[in-house]
């Protein structure tokens, strides 16, 4: 009988050279570059191209990629009109999954996937990746306006990816310092080995499905509260706690009731998530930049971290990437239900890198199972079943 491992924990599902995690030492790297280094020195555009192509780009390649991204920010009017027909109260991730699938109907070229086991059309893979990354951010901001009854704001080509996102989201000239913080957040969320949504992308990609359907599967998987929806849940938790003084009692009550503490624990890390370390530092810098004029969530979060770490640290349970990202996004004025969408518009770079890698070594996923049902049952005619 085959051994059953719940959740496939620790079971290798593929070979990849895209990212690496050492959960004992708190190490995360993209293509061999430590996440701390990329957060300090890189940009999302450069990081995305690093993930897609495998190496830090030359100045010329980065400029060309950046120009292509800027040129692909506009979304065709049919997508906008489809968005207008969606329920305004619908979750942004449901919109994003739906519209990503619809994009595939308006972009040709996927026929190269049907000719064999993998796609050798390098230009198709690259151009599609640029389109999807650029369009994803645009659609997130479009929905914020459309669901509130307003027309979306047109993208600009004179701004970076992060700057343009903030411009389209708020309609205000982006603050360069805050845009840089957003840029780092996008870098931190861009890739994280074979997590649930990336595995969904691999499975869909292995069938040679359209890349738009492949990414839609990643969005669907990311939307769950145990994955990309956790940062939204963190903010709701902190708001429920209300003050730093109530943090310890809240944690004790949750643990006694055997309930989840949102933003804590990660299957890959037995120490504090290195991305959480950077995000906490970014939140401190943001508060300093605002001269302390920020809401109470950060102070409550720090009290929760101390209380939870005191009680759970010995078990290797520490803050993960979701714990401080939601706090930071909330202070930037972003609606909590948009947090998973921001996660998706960043993680799409990693998804596409894995899609490209899967095409180059493709074998359709077809795992087995451990059957636990009955065997050789007699079929009883309906009239004898009572």
pLDDT in tens, 333-347: 999 999 999 999 999
Residue 5 is predicted with a pLDDT of 87
Beta bridge partners of 20: 29
Kindly state which CATH superfamily the domain 15-223+338-360 is placed in.
Citrate Synthase, domain 1 (1.10.580.10)
Question: Among candidates 321, 347, 274, 363, which has minimal Cα distance to 18?
Answer: 347
Q: Return the CATH architecture of domain 230-331.
A: Orthogonal Bundle (1.10)
Cβ-in-10-Å burial (0-12, 13-18, 19+) of 375 comes to exposed
What are the extents of the domains in the chain? 15-223+338-360, 230-331
176, 163 in Cβ contact below 8 A?
A: yes
Residue 133 is predicted with a pLDDT of 98
* Range 148-155 average pLDDT: 96
The pTM score is 0.94
Q: Tell me the catalytic residues.
A: 266, 322
What band does 109 get if pLDDT is binned at 50, 70 and 90? low
Cα-based distances in Å from 288 to 214, 262, 293: 41, 26, 8
pLDDT at 116 over 80: no
* Range 172-198 average pLDDT: 97
What band does 160 get if pLDDT is binned at 50, 70 and 90? very high
DSSP label at 120? -
């Amino acid at each position: 009988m085959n051994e059953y491992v719940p959740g496939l924990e620790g079971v290798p599902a593929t070979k990849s050279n895209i990212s690496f995690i050492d959960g004992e030492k708190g190490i995360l790297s993209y293509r061999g570059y430590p996440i701390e280094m990329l957060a300090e020195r890189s940009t999302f555009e450069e990081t995305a191209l690093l993930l897609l192509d495998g190496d830090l780009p030359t100045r010329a390649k980065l400029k060309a990629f950046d120009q292509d991204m800027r040129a692909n920010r506009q979304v065709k009017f049919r997508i906008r009109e489809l968005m207008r027909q969606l329920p305004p109260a619908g979750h942004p991730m449901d919109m994003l999954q739906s519209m990503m699938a619809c994009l595939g109907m308006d972009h040709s070229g996927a026929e190269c996937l049907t000719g064999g086991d993998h796609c050798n059309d390098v230009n198709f893979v690259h151009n599609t990746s640029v389109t999807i990354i650029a369009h994803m951010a645009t659609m997130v901001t479009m929905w914020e306006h459309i669901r509130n009854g307003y027309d979306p704001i047109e993208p600009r080509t004179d701004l970076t990816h992060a700057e343009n996102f903030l411009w389209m989201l708020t309609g205000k000239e982006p603050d360069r310092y805050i845009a840089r913080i957003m840029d780092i957040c996008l870098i931190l969320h861009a890739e994280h080995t074979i997590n649930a949504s990336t595995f969904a992308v691999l499975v869909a990609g292995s069938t040679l499905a359209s890349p738009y359907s492949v990414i839609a599967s990643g969005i669907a998987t990311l939307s769950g509260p145990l994955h990309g929806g956790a940062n939204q849940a963190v903010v709701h938790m902190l708001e429920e706690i209300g003050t730093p003084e109530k943090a310890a009692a809240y944690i004790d009550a949750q643990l006694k009731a055997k309930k989840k503490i949102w933003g804590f624990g990660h299957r890959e890390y037995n120490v504090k998530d290195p991305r959480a370390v950077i995000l906490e530092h970014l939140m401190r810098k943001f508060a300093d930049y605002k001269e302390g004029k920020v809401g109470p969530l950060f102070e409550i979060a720090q009290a929760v971290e101390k209380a939870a770490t005191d009680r759970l640290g010995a078990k290797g349970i520490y803050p993960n990437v979701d714990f401080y990202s939601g706090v930071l996004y909330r202070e930037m004025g972003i609606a909590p239900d948009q947090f998973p969408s921001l996660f998706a518009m960043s993680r799409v770079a990693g998804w596409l890198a894995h899609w490209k890698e899967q095409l180059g070594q493709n074998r359709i996923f077809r795992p087995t199972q451990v059957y636990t049902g009955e065997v050789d049952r007699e079929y009883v005619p309906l009239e004898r079943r009572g």
